[in-house]
Every structure is written in structure tokens, then in C-alpha cells.
């Protein structure tokens, strides 16, 4: 099997960790980018290496354009290439729009939208040169509905922007045999929300249950597979039909 390298932002825990472990099991080399979750990132990397895989754990604030570029350079220098960029990092907070601060507003864009632009610009030259590659971005299940969101306004606008940026990147990179797609999770039991809060959401989900990390990992696995070679610019809802 040809060597394949993945760079995963937000790969230390939750969905990102699940993706990292799954790719490593498929013999991908995995670079895990984290900002604050050092212990979790190291544990994920150690799990991969203990199973015979190759992993890097790299601290980086990808909201800084120069740091994001340096992250890509570091991985490429270590392993010679990046075949898949998975943009899983993204802060979230709930606050009414009129109680939001300028710093909080900017944080949602700096964490959820801007890094995708920075990192895509950085990985594109190598992918174009090899005429292959994949970029997967994470939005949210109802971001394409363009509905009012009084308590998560900036986060929601940023996630809607992710979809526009995904489609734009797909159109620009498709001639180079590179796919760019989005995954939009709904309520997923990834460890980031209290179980009682998730349980209260079940009645709002048409499928009748909360999704698992494995549900999201399966969508990533598909988009990175040869079966999805003609899927480009898509947005896959992983939500049990919530948010559509």
C-alpha cells in the first residue's frame, strides 16, 4: 500500500481522535494538531504508535496564518507529503448576540473558518504537484438552512461560510484530482457535551437517537476512499435527519 499522510486539526479527542485512530488502522501516517489538549493528543499518538503506526503530535494555533503554514511545512518535512487535510478543530460557545463581545465574535471565525483557508492554501501546492489529495471540512447539520441563531450567531455564520469555502475549493482543485468536501454533524456523543444534555435532544432527532463518533468516522472513511473519487463539493449530513 502506498504511503498516505493525514493532517488532522482537533485530532486529540472526540471525533478527531476517532478519525486519527481509524486512519492509522488503515496504515495512514497521522499528524495530530492540537492547541490546548496536549495530554489527549499525546495519548492518541501513543495509542497509534503502540499499535505499530506512525503519529506526530503537534501543538499549533491554526488561527494564526503563519503558524498554520508552518504546521503544513513541518508535516511535509517530516513525511514528505500530505494526502488528506481534515479540518476538525472549531471552538464553540453559546451566548446571546447582544451579550457577545468583539473578542468572542472574532474567536468563532478565527477558530472555525479562517484556518481552513490558511491550511488549504498551504497544502494545495503539494497536492497539485502530486495530482491527488483530499480536504475534509467540518460544518454543522443545519448551517445550510440560513436560519436565525440568536445564541450561536457567529459560530453559525462561520459554519455556513465553511460550506461556501468548501465548494469554492472543490471547484478550484477538482482539475488537479483533489476532492474537497464537508461533513455536517448533528448531535454526536463525542464526549464534549454532558450525557443528560444529549439525552434531552433525542426527541428532536427524526432518527430517534444520538449519533456516535463512529458514524462520523464512517463518513470520513468514505470521502477518502476510491469509491468517492467523483464526490466533490458535497456536504454530508451526519445527523439522523436533524437540521434538514
Using the 8-state DSSP alphabet, how is residue 226 labeled? G
Contacts of 12 (CB under 8 A, 6+ apart): 32, 34, 37, 38, 40, 41, 44, 57
CA atoms within 13 A on the CB side of 94: 1
Phi, psi of 175 (to 5 degrees): -60, -15
Question: What is the chain's percent helix, strand, coil content, to nearest 5?
Answer: 50, 20, 30
Strand, helix or coil at 131? coil
Q: Is 118 a catalytic residue?
A: no
Edge-first strand order for the sheet with 28-34 is: 55-59, 28-34, 4-9, 84-87, 133-138, 178-185, 235-238
Q: Residues 156, 209, 222, 230: which is the catalytic one?
A: 156
Residue 220, H or E segment = helix 213-223
Q: Which residues are catalytic?
A: 156
Amino acid at each position: 500500500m502506498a504511503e498516505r499522510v493525514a493532517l488532522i486539526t482537533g485530532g486529540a479527542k472526540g471525533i478527531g481522535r476517532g478519525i486519527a485512530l481509524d486512519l492509522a488502522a488503515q496504515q495512514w501516517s497521522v499528524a495530530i494538531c492540537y492547541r490546548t489538549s496536549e495530554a489527549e493528543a499525546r495519548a492518541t499518538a501513543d495509542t497509534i504508535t503502540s499499535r505499530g503506526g506512525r503519529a506526530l503530535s503537534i501543538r499549533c494555533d491554526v488561527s494564526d496564518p503563519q503558524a498554520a503554514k508552518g504546521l503544513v511545512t513541518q508535516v511535509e518535512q517530516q513525511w514528505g507529503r500530505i494526502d488528506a487535510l481534515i479540518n476538525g478543530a472549531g471552538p464553540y460557545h453559546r451566548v446571546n448576540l447582544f451579550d457577545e463581545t468583539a473578542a468572542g465574535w472574532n474567536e468563532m471565525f478565527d477558530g472555525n473558518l479562517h484556518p481552513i483557508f490558511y491550511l488549504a492554501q498551504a497544502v494545495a501546492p503539494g497536492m497539485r504537484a502530486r495530482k491527488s489529495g483530499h480536504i475534509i471540512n467540518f460544518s454543522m447539520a443545519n448551517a445550510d438552512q440560513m436560519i436565525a441563531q440568536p445564541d450561536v450567531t457567529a459560530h453559525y455564520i462561520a459554519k455556513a461560510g465553511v460550506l461556501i469555502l468548501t465548494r469554492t475549493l472543490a471547484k478550484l482543485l477538482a482539475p488537479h484530482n483533489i476532492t474537497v468536501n464537508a461533513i455536517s454533524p448533528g448531535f454526536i456523543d463525542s464526549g464534549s457535551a454532558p450525557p443528560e444534555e444529549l439525552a434531552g435532544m433525542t426527541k428532536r432527532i427524526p432518527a430517534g437517537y444520538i449519533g456516535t463518533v463512529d458514524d462520523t468516522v464512517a463518513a470520513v472513511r468514505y470521502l477518502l476512499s476510491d469509491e468517492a473519487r467523483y464526490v466533490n463539493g458535497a456536504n454530508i449530513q451526519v445527523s439522523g435527519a436533524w437540521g434538514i
